[in-house]
Structure 1
Amino acid sequence: MAMANMAMDNLKLPDLKLPDGPMSGLVASAVEYMVDAGQRSVLLLDIMRQRGDQYREHVAQVAPHVLQYAAELIVDGRTLEEPVNYALVRIIPPKDIEIDMSRRPFVVVDPRAGHGPGIGGFKADSEIGVAMKAGHPCYFIGFLPEPVPGQTIERIARAEAKFIETVIGRHPEADGKPCVIGNCQAGWAVMILASLRPELFGPLIIAGAPLAYWAGVHGQYPMRYSGGLLGGSWLTALTSDLGAGKFDGAWLVQNFENQNPSNTLWTKQYNVYSKVDTEAERYLDFERWWGGHVNLNAEEIQFIVDELFIGNNLAAGRIEMSNGQKVDLRNIRSPIVVFCSKGDNVTPPQQALNWILDCYADVDEIRAYGQTIVYTVHESIGHLGIFVSGGVAKKEHAEFSSNIDLIDVLPPGLYEATFEARGDETLNADLAAGQWVMRCEARTLDDIRAMGGNSPEDERRFAAAKRVSELNLAAYQKFVQPWVKKMVAPQMADWARNMHPLRMQYEAFSSKNPWMSTIQAAADRVEDNRRPVSKDNPFLAIQEQMSKQIVHALDSWRDAQEALSETIFLNVYGSPLLQAAVGVDPNSVPSQRREMSAEHRAMLERRISELKSRIGEGGLREAAIRSLLYVGSARGMVDERSIEALRQVRRDHAGPRMTLAEFKMLVREQFFMLLLDREYALAAIPKLLPDDMGLRRQAFAAMREVLSASEDITGERAHRLKQVAGLFGLDGEGELTSNVAPFDSKAKAS
Structure 2
Amino acid sequence: MTMENLNLPGGPLSGVVAAAVEYMVDAGQRSVLFLDIMRQRGDQYREHVAQTAPHVLQYAAELIIDGRKLDEPVNYALVRIIPPKGVEIDLERRPFIVVDPRAGHGPGIGGFKADSEIGVAMKAGHPCYFIGFLPEPMPGQTIERIARAEALFIEKVISLHPKADGKPCVIGNCQAGWAVMILASLRPELFGPLIIAGAPLAYWAGVHGKYPMRYSGGLLGGSWLTALASDLGAGKFDGAWLVQNFENQNPSNTLWTKQYNVYSKVDTEADRYLDFERWWGGHVNLNAEEIQFIVDELFIGNNLAAGKIEMSDGQKVDLRNIRSPIVVFCSKGDNVTPPQQALDWILDCYADVNEIRAYGQTIVYTVHESIGHLGIFVSGGVAKKEHAEFSSNIDLIDILPPGLYEATFEAKGEETTSSDLVVGQWVMRCEARTLDDIRAMGGNSPEDERRFAAAKRVSEMNLAAYRKFVQPWIKKMVTPQMAETMRNLHPLRLQYEVLSSQNPWMGAVKTAADEIEEKRKPVAEDNPFLAFQEQMSKQIVHVLDSWRDAQEALSETIFLNVYGSPALQAAVGIDPNWESSRKREMSAEHRTMLEKRIAELKSRVGEGGLREAAIRGLLYIGSARGMVDERSIEALRRIRRDAGGSRLTLPEFKMLVREQFFMLLLDQQGALAAIPKMLPEDVAQRLAAVAMIREVLSASGEITGERASRLRRIAALFGVEAGEGTSNITPFDPKAKAS
Q: Identify the TM-score tier after normalising by the shorter chain.
A: over 0.9
Q: Secondary structure at the match of 1:418?
A: strand
**Counterpart residue type for residue 151 of structure 2:** A
Instruction: Give 1:589 shift.
Output: 2.6
User: Within 5 A, what are the aligned runs for 1:358-373?
Assistant: 358-373=348-363
The gaps in structure 2 that reach 5 residues or longer are 1-5, 727-739
- Of 413, 431, 439 in structure 1, the residue corresponding to residue 421 of structure 2 is 431
Instruction: Give 1:735 shift.
Output: 5.5
1:346 aligns with 2:340: no
User: Within 5 A, what are the aligned runs for 1:117-132?
Assistant: 117-132=107-122
Instruction: Give 1:18 shift.
Output: 7.2
Give the Cα–Cα distance (whole angstroms) in 1 for the partners of residues 7 and 276 of structure 2.
44
1:495 aligns with 2:485: yes
Q: Which residue of 1 aligns with 2:143?
A: 153
**Counterpart residue type for residue 56 of structure 2:** V
Give the Cα–Cα distance (whole angstroms) in 2 for the partners of residues 424 and 516 of structure 1.
56
Give the Cα–Cα distance (whole angstroms) in 2 for the partners of residues 181 and 247 of structure 1.
26
User: Within 5 A, what are the aligned runs for 1:12-91?
Assistant: 19-91=9-81
User: Within 5 A, what are the aligned runs for 1:307-318?
Assistant: 307-318=297-308
Instruction: Give 1:442 shift.
Output: 0.2
User: Within 5 A, what are the aligned runs for 1:314-463?
Assistant: 314-463=304-453
1:696 aligns with 2:691: no
Give the Cα–Cα distance (whole angstroms) in 1 for the partners of residues 580 and 498 of structure 2.
51
Q: Secondary structure at the match of 2:141?
A: coil
Q: What number of residue pairs does the alignment pair up?
A: 721
Give the Cα–Cα distance (whole angstroms) in 2 for the partners of residues 594 and 615 of structure 1.
31
1:97 aligns with 2:113: no
Give the Cα–Cα distance (whole angstroms) in 2 for the partners of residues 658 and 732 of structure 1.
27
**Counterpart residue type for residue 573 of structure 2:** G
Deviation sequence 1:656-697 (CA, Å, 0-9, x none): 110000000000000000000000100100111111111111
- Of 644, 649, 653 in structure 2, the residue corresponding to residue 654 of structure 1 is 644
**Counterpart residue type for residue 374 of structure 2:** L
Residue 304 to residue 18, structure 1, CA distance change in 2 (3 Å):
farther
1:668 aligns with 2:658: yes
1:612 aligns with 2:585: no
- Of 638, 659, 669 in structure 1, the residue corresponding to residue 628 of structure 2 is 638
Contact in 1 for aligned 2:691/2:725 (Cα 8 Å) = no
User: Within 5 A, what are the aligned runs for 1:185-584?
Assistant: 185-584=175-574
Q: Which residue of 2 aligns with 1:587?
A: 577
Instruction: Give 1:269 shift.
Output: 0.3
Give the Cα–Cα distance (whole angstroms) in 1 for the partners of residues 146 and 252 of structure 2.
36
Q: Secondary structure at the match of 1:315?
A: helix
Contact in 2 for aligned 1:421/1:437 (Cα 8 Å) = yes
Contact in 1 for aligned 2:488/2:494 (Cα 8 Å) = yes
Deviation sequence 1:371-423 (CA, Å, 0-9, x none): 00000000000000011100000000000000000000000000000000000
Deviation sequence 1:148-190 (CA, Å, 0-9, x none): 0000000000000000000000000000000000000000000
- Of 100, 110, 114 in structure 1, the residue corresponding to residue 100 of structure 2 is 110
Contact in 2 for aligned 1:18/1:28 (Cα 8 Å) = no
Q: Provide the aligned C-alpha RMSD in A.
A: 1.0
1:725 aligns with 2:700: no
Q: Which residue of 1 aligns with 2:697?
A: 707
**Counterpart residue type for residue 682 of structure 2:** D
Contact in 2 for aligned 1:315/1:592 (Cα 8 Å) = no
Give the Cα–Cα distance (whole angstroms) in 2 for the partners of residues 510 and 593 of structure 1.
56
TM score, norm. by length of structure 2: 0.97
Deviation sequence 1:254-305 (CA, Å, 0-9, x none): 0000000000000000000111000000000000000000000000000000
Q: Secondary structure at the match of 1:40?
A: helix
Q: Secondary structure at the match of 1:314?
A: helix
**Counterpart residue type for residue 624 of structure 2:** A
Contact in 1 for aligned 2:324/2:362 (Cα 8 Å) = yes
Q: Secondary structure at the match of 1:334?
A: coil
Instruction: Give 1:20 shift.
Output: 3.6
Q: Secondary structure at the match of 1:205?
A: strand
Give the Cα–Cα distance (whole angstroms) in 2 for the partners of residues 434 and 514 of structure 1.
52
> After TM superposition, which residue ranges in structure 1, 4 or more long, deviate above 3 angstroms?
16-20
TM score, norm. by length of structure 1: 0.96
Instruction: Give 1:599 shift.
Output: 1.3
Deviation sequence 1:298-325 (CA, Å, 0-9, x none): 0000000000000000000000000000
Contact in 2 for aligned 1:316/1:593 (Cα 8 Å) = no
Q: Secondary structure at the match of 2:724?
A: coil
Deviation sequence 1:569-624 (CA, Å, 0-9, x none): 00000000000100101232332441111111111100000000000000111000
Contact in 2 for aligned 1:415/1:442 (Cα 8 Å) = yes
Instruction: Give 1:734 shift.
Output: 2.2
Give the Cα–Cα distance (whole angstroms) in 2 for the partners of residues 262 and 398 of structure 1.
32
The gaps in structure 1 that reach 5 residues or longer are 1-15, 737-750
Residue 116 to residue 18, structure 1, CA distance change in 2 (3 Å):
farther
Give the Cα–Cα distance (whole angstroms) in 2 for the partners of residues 191 and 587 of structure 1.
32
Contact in 2 for aligned 1:105/1:179 (Cα 8 Å) = yes
**Counterpart residue type for residue 422 of structure 2:** A
Give the Cα–Cα distance (whole angstroms) in 2 for the partners of residues 372 and 49 of structure 1.
50
**Counterpart residue type for residue 708 of structure 1:** S
Instruction: Give 1:19 shift.
Output: 4.0
Give the Cα–Cα distance (whole angstroms) in 1 for the partners of residues 69 and 389 of structure 2.
37
Give the Cα–Cα distance (whole angstroms) in 2 for the partners of residues 20 and 391 of structure 1.
48
Instruction: Give 1:96 shift.
Output: 1.0
Give the Cα–Cα distance (whole angstroms) in 2 for the partners of residues 18 and 371 of structure 1.
81
Give the Cα–Cα distance (whole angstroms) in 1 for the partners of residues 472 and 296 of structure 2.
20
Instruction: Give 1:138 shift.
Output: 0.2
Contact in 1 for aligned 2:690/2:722 (Cα 8 Å) = no
**Counterpart residue type for residue 215 of structure 1:** A
Contact in 1 for aligned 2:688/2:725 (Cα 8 Å) = no
Instruction: Give 1:231 shift.
Output: 0.2
Deviation sequence 1:487-519 (CA, Å, 0-9, x none): 000000000000000000000110000000000
Give the Cα–Cα distance (whole angstroms) in 1 for the partners of residues 599 and 511 of structure 2.
81
Q: Which residue of 2 aligns with 1:746?
A: none
Give the Cα–Cα distance (whole angstroms) in 2 for the partners of residues 413 and 573 of structure 1.
37
